[in-house]
Amino acid sequence: MSQSNEQQRQRPIVVPGEPVGESRFYHPGMNILKISDRMFSTTVGIVRVEGKRLDVISLKSFYQPKVGDLVIGIVKEPNIAGWTVDINSPFLAFLPLSEYSEKRIRLTKDSIGRILETETVITGVIKDVSIFSSPVITMKGKGLGVVSNGTLLNITASKVPRLIGKKGSMLSVIERATGVKLTVGQNGRIIVHTEDSNIVAKIREVIGMVERESHMYGLTERVEALLVGRKM
């Protein structure tokens, strides 16, 4: 088989209710419904087997916050104890005043609304997730904070790992080829640290390709080709 045929091959897509394996051979992982010893997919996705664990990686899903996730949020509303922040998830997150900065804030001088205005873009980390209250985020930490410059782009949350690639391989291909840094939030938001419209257009194209072809073999090579303008 020629190299390019191999690259064009698509990983088989499974749909909800499709049998994906038997539990005497695999342990059920993500997006699996187990009925007696049979395992079915619960989502449209790609089967991934790692050791004995069988997952279905969803081709489209929404963001479900996990502690430790880097997210890109949009400040929605200030209130008495902090800010509600849109993190592209079923729930609004909460950024408490105490998680805003290492520095002390004196409320006598600045009202909360003026410290972080509505619609401000921030990078934060999910600090706490509970089923009783909103996920809590913190802006304390290296590299976290307000983002005033750059361009905000979106991708389906379940495709973020593909955009980053194994050990960051895909991301470094993109950064190397464009010479621009990217901050990728687990919640499907991306900050491209440039306002150069040509570069942004190129990166948009790359994201579109990842979005469409995340389940194809040889995606990293095709992305690389796209970035350097090579025909494949």
Partner 1 sequence: MNEKISLFKENGKRIDDRAPDELRPIKIKVGVLSNAQGSAYIEQGKNKILAAVYGPKEALPKHISLPDRCILRCRYHMAPFSTPERKSPAPSRREIELSMIIRNALESLVMTSLFPRTVIDIFIEVLQADGGTRCAGLTAAVLALADAGIPLRGLTAACAVGKADGKVIVDLNDLEDKYGEADMPIAYNPTLDGITLLQMDGIMSKEEIEQALSLAITATQKIHKIQVEALKDRFSVTKREV
Task: Using the minimum distance from each CB to partner 1, give the nearer residue, 16 or 113.
Answer: 16
Angle CA 206–194–153, to nearest 5: 45
**Binding mask of the shown chain, residues 167 to 206, with x at each position contacting partner 1 by CB under 8 A:** ----------------------------------------
222 binds partner 1 (CB under 8 A): yes
Contact pick of 51, 90, 143, 179 for partner 1 (by CB under 8 A): 90
Q: How far apart are CA 22 and CA 38, in angstroms?
A: 5
Residue 210, token pair as written in the block: 């990842």
Q: How far apart are CA 91 and CA 88, in angstroms?
A: 8
Task: Using the minimum distance from each CB to partner 1, give the nearer residue, 41 or 194.
Answer: 41
Residue 119, token pair as written in the block: 């619609």
Task: Using the minimum distance from each CB to partner 1, give the nearer residue, 28 or 141.
Answer: 28
Selection from 158, 171, 157, 133 nearest residue 72 by Cα: 157
60 binds partner 1 (CB under 8 A): yes
Contact pick of 39, 55, 57, 58 for partner 1 (by CB under 8 A): 58
20 binds partner 1 (CB under 8 A): no
Task: Using the minimum distance from each CB to partner 1, give the nearer residue, 39 or 191.
Answer: 39
Nearest approach, Cβ of 142 to partner 1 (angstroms)? 31
In the numeric block, the tokens 């619960």 are attached to 42
221 binds partner 1 (CB under 8 A): no
Q: How far, in Å, are 9, 37, 84, 158 from residue 120 at the CA level? A: 42, 50, 11, 25
Strands of 30-120, DSSP E: 32-35, 38-41, 45-50, 53-58, 70-79, 82-86, 93-96
Nearest approach, Cβ of 103 to partner 1 (angstroms)? 31
Cβ 68 vs Cβ 187: under 8 Å: no
Q: How far apart are CA 19 and CA 191, in angstroms?
A: 38
Residues in contact with partner 1 by CB under 8 A are: 8, 10, 13, 15-18, 31, 33, 35, 40, 42-44, 58-62, 90-92, 131, 156, 158, 209, 212-213, 215-216, 222, 226, 232
